[in-house]
Amino acid sequence: MKKDILKDIVKRKRERLAAAMEQLPEEEVKARLKDIPPPLPFRQAIVKPREISLIAEVKKASPSAGVIRERFFPVEIAAAYEQAGAQALSVLTEEDFFYGSPVYLQEIKRSVKIPVLRKDFLLEPYQVYESRMLGADAILLIADLLSKDKLSELYGIASGLGMDCLIESHGEKDLKKAVSLKFPLLGLNNRDLRTLEVDIKTTERLYPLVPKDRNVAVESGIRSRSDVLFLKVLGVSAVLIGSVFMESADIGAKVNEVMGW
């Protein structure tokens, strides 16, 4: 039986969350929000008629690949993405398995003019308020991790703060949950978060289940111009790509190659 890595990630995340809430209580986080500039419109930035947008990801490592980029300078990477024409950024802030940091998001947000998504394992309202405090314009919510009620709760808090949400699914059950709640921006992840296996046919299988009035961003396993073209023809609004760029010595050139810009 394959190990369920998601359980380990969530266990560690809950430990870190408890420590964070003790160090900086939720009321203090909320109080700090008044000093944060309003969020940029993430969904609006990545949804363009007859075009496919890029959400470029800043990440040092992953549980499946280990360290992807040894010389990891988040602000420089974000600047290269912005200069290359990315419509938005995704920043990994999970510390233990992806070697991310909330600090990376803060630093990047101060240095770019495009919307920034916080990509992490968000489980409780505290993390939504924290995301806004860090400067996130949008957050990722993983349907597999959250009940319908919890998804609705976290989405409602984010919306109240002016943030967009990318609701991620990697299976039919998760997607049906997200669709039933009428979320406008859905993420289809070709990676099974429990086994970490990638199947690029996941999107092909799930996309027909998405109502026409929703927008879709596809994650994981996208490595070439032909992958992007296939998804564009399918009708996908955006691709979220990280690893293939993080592996490249020249990020800007790799973005142009994969996106065809």
Please check whether residue 170 is in contact with residue 144, taking contact to mean a CB–CB distance below 8 angstroms.
yes
Active-site residue, 22 included: no
Active-site residue, 57 included: yes
Active-site residue, 220 included: yes
End-to-end CA gap in the chain:
43
Active-site residue, 131 included: no
| Catalytic option among 53, 57, 107, 131 | 57
- Residue 48: helix, strand or coil by DSSP? coil
Active-site residue, 76 included: no
| Catalytic option among 13, 53, 59, 62 | 59
Active-site residue, 204 included: no
What are the φ and ψ backbone dihedral angles of 3, each rounded to 5 degrees? -70, 140
CB proximity list for 236: less than 8 A, separation 6 or greater: 52, 203, 207, 216, 217, 218
Amino acid at 49: P
| Catalytic option among 131, 168, 177, 237 | 168
Q: CA-to-CA distance for 254 and 64, rounded, in angstroms?
A: 22
| Catalytic option among 220, 237, 243, 254 | 220
Amino acid at 116: V
DSSP characters over 131-184: HHHHT-SEEEEEGGGS-HHHHHHHHHHHHHTT-EEEEEESSHHHHHHHHHTT-S
For residue 54, give the nearest of 210, 218, 188 by alpha carbon: 218
Active-site residue, 176 included: no
Both tokens of residue 201?
A: 């046919």
| Catalytic option among 82, 94, 219, 254 | 219
| Catalytic option among 189, 190, 215, 237 | 189
| Catalytic option among 13, 60, 109, 119 | 119
Q: Which residues are catalytic?
A: 57, 59, 119, 168, 189, 219-220
